[in-house]
Amino acid sequence: MNPKLYSYEFYLTASEVNAQREMPLSRLVTTLIDTATGHANIIGIGFDRMIREGISWVLSRLTIDIDAPVTVNRTYRMETWIESVSRLFSERGFEMTDAETGHTVMRAHSTWMAVNMTTRRPGDLTPIFEGLDVISDRRYAGDKGGKLLPSHTPERESTYRFAVSDIDINRHVTTRRYIDLIVDMWPLDYYDTMRPSRFELAFKHEARYDEEAVVIAASHEGSPEVNDVEIRVNSTSCCLARLRFTARD
């Protein structure tokens, strides 16, 4: 096995798709995280290794380009590789292809960091990667995106109180819940004519059980196809996102 490249093949069933018979954005991101976890476990930097240092992986930044809809009853192959490592951050790339046609349907770039489970402060990745030859020469070919900023003129707003099912192994809100809250800012019929083609996400502060979130959305620089979204708790920004929509064929 090549430790610098990890691949995972899966069949997308009807129970995993949305009303448009496509993989939901939150399911896509969960698959990215699961694939990264599988690779990390194989090369010895997974949960068991991290927890011995008192730290845990958390996703910090994510950019996804969806080149084509990921549709039901098809088999897909997800590949991932590590692009860089520093004391505080690690960059990882992804590519998903249709297993039958070989066509690329999704590309992604992610930035990860370690969090100390006691102090909740950034952890040191140096001892985790010491002696490992796992950095790939492969690179994400797309635009990693720029800095995301909160909107000062919200056009839509909703609230949500985080429940038990929203909390993950690190005892903070799951990435899946954040993304579902973002997606739910548009009505169902909008998704019948438009689909997400690019998604950027940056985490700023962790949210916890029973906290109430405010979700606000606004068009980006007046563009109806590009929207900025912020999720706040007690006026503190927890995550920022930018979502680009493309008209369906």
Burial class (CB in 10 A: 0-12, 13-18, 19+), 152: exposed
CA distance 85 to 125: 8
User: Which tens digits make up the pLDDT trace of 32-75?
Assistant: 999 999 999 999 999 999 998 899 999 999 999 999 999 999 99
The answer to whether the CB of 173 falls within 8 A of the CB of 215 is no
The domain segmentation of the chain, as residue ranges, is 6-129, 156-247
Sign (positive/negative) of CA torsion 138, 139, 140, 142? negative
Q: Which CATH architecture has domain 156-247?
A: Roll (3.10)
CA distance 230 to 242: 9
User: Which tens digits make up the pLDDT trace of 164-205?
Assistant: 999 998 899 999 999 999 999 999 999 999 999 999 999 999
What does 97-134 look like in DSSP terms, one character per residue?
A: EETTT--EEEEEEEEEEEEETTT-SBPP-HHHHTT---
Look at the pTM and tell me if it is higher than 0.75.
yes
**Class of CATH domain 6-129:** alpha beta
pLDDT value at position 117? Answer: 86
SS3 content of the chain, % helix, strand, coil (to 5): 20, 45, 35
